[in-house]
Amino acid sequence: MPKQSVQVLIEGGKATAAPPLGPALGPMGVNIGEVVAQINTKTAAFKGMQVPVNVTIDTVTKAFEISVGTPPTSQLIFKETNLKKGAHNPATEKVADIRIEQVIKVALMKQDALLGKDMKGMVKEVIGTCCSMGVLVNGMVATEAIVAVNEGKFDKEISEEKTELSDAELQEQAEEKKKLQAEIEARRAEFTVKANDIINKMKGKDRSAIKHKLIEAEIPKEFIEELLPAEDAAPAEGEAPVEGEAPKAE
């Protein structure tokens, strides 16, 4: 049977019969109010976010199907934690603390794209993404949080699909984020002082030797690239290359 599709970008839970949706659906002969209602139900969890929606319509029976695209899981975690980027080194830096209710919310938003067979499986999948971003879950690193899920610590929240936080919980989360950010800044300052001390003591040495020393001192890669001066420009024609550097290619 012939089918046609209408693709639009809608703010979660706020679809209306106004443009762009209404005029696109009008010629299709479908019940626009019903389509709008279903879209708002399917996109309610994306409040405040623009999401792609595809409406496929059978032009004979006027039956329709709605599919909702979603941002990457990491972007949804960013939104829930008010972050702009994850940790430079997720293994050692923790940039935020997400609550299990927010993890469940992300799992619900991404359920059509996740591999978990049930909500508990999908929650653990989202927690895995938190790990790669340097985000704690209820104050726990990802491995501990997954153990807690397996042990049933969050069974009540997961079974009820709880997604909302109280004002007190939101305030507590904001305070924890400030604490984590302060710890990161203190750690960065410590690494900066340590790295600059090594660089100054080895001034005039080959860059590769300085870099090796910084690595030995366990200075994170991003600090090394930021603080260590770039390679000197290639020598002019007729000049000998600096020791340890390859001659300029012809």
- What residue ranges do the domains of the chain occupy? 3-68, 73-165, 182-227
pLDDT at position 164 is 82
DSSP-based three-state secondary structure for 17: coil
> Edge to edge, what strands does the sheet with 50-58 contain?
3-11, 50-58, 64-68
Higher pLDDT, 39 or 245: 39
Q: Which of 151, 70, 147, 134 is nearest to 98 (CA)?
A: 134
pLDDT in tens, 91-107: 888 888 999 999 999 99
pLDDT at position 197 is 86
pLDDT at position 1 is 52
Is 80 exceeded by the pLDDT of residue 246? no
Could you tell me how far CA 172 lies from the centroid of its own chain? 21
Mean pLDDT across the chain, nearest whole number? 84
What's the CA gap between 227 and 195, in Å, rounded? 8
Is 70 exceeded by the pLDDT of residue 238? no
Average pLDDT over residues 167-194: 80
Average pLDDT over residues 191-216: 85
What's the CA gap between 126 and 107, in Å, rounded? 6
How far is residue 58 from each of residues 5, 35, 88, measured CA to CA in Å? 9, 13, 49
CATH class of 73-165: mainly alpha
Is 70 exceeded by the pLDDT of residue 239? no
Instruction: Give the bridge partners for 3, in sequence order.
Output: 58
Q: Cis bond leading into 20, ω under 30°?
A: yes
* Max CA distance (Å), the chain: 81
Q: What is the DSSP track for 142-168?
A: HHHHHHHHHTTTTHHHHHHT-----HH
pLDDT in tens, 43-68: 887 777 778 899 999 988 999 999 88
Q: Which of 73, 91, 62, 94 is nearest to 218 (CA)?
A: 91
Q: Which of 164, 151, 166, 169 is nearest to 103 (CA)?
A: 164
Contact residues for 129 (Cβ-Cβ < 8 A; gap 6+): 73, 74, 77
Confidence of residue 177 (pLDDT cuts 50, 70, 90): confident
Average pLDDT over residues 217-245: 62
Is 80 exceeded by the pLDDT of residue 150? yes
Amino acid identity of residue 209, one-letter, is A
Element (DSSP H or E) covering residue 52: strand 50-58
Least confident of 44-53, 55-64, 148-157, 201-210: 44-53
pLDDT at position 179 is 83
Confidence of residue 231 (pLDDT cuts 50, 70, 90): low
Is 70 exceeded by the pLDDT of residue 244? no
Over pLDDT 70: what percentage of the chain? Answer: 91
Same fold, 3-68 and 73-165: no
Is 70 exceeded by the pLDDT of residue 226? yes
pLDDT at position 217 is 84
Least confident of 26-30, 167-171, 212-216: 167-171
Structure tokens at 160: 């009820």
Average pLDDT over residues 118-127: 95
Assess contact for 76 and 109: CB atoms under 8 A.
Answer: yes
What's the CA gap between 61 and 26, in Å, rounded? 15
Is 70 exceeded by the pLDDT of residue 221? yes
Q: What is the CATH number of domain 3-68?
A: 3.30.1550.10
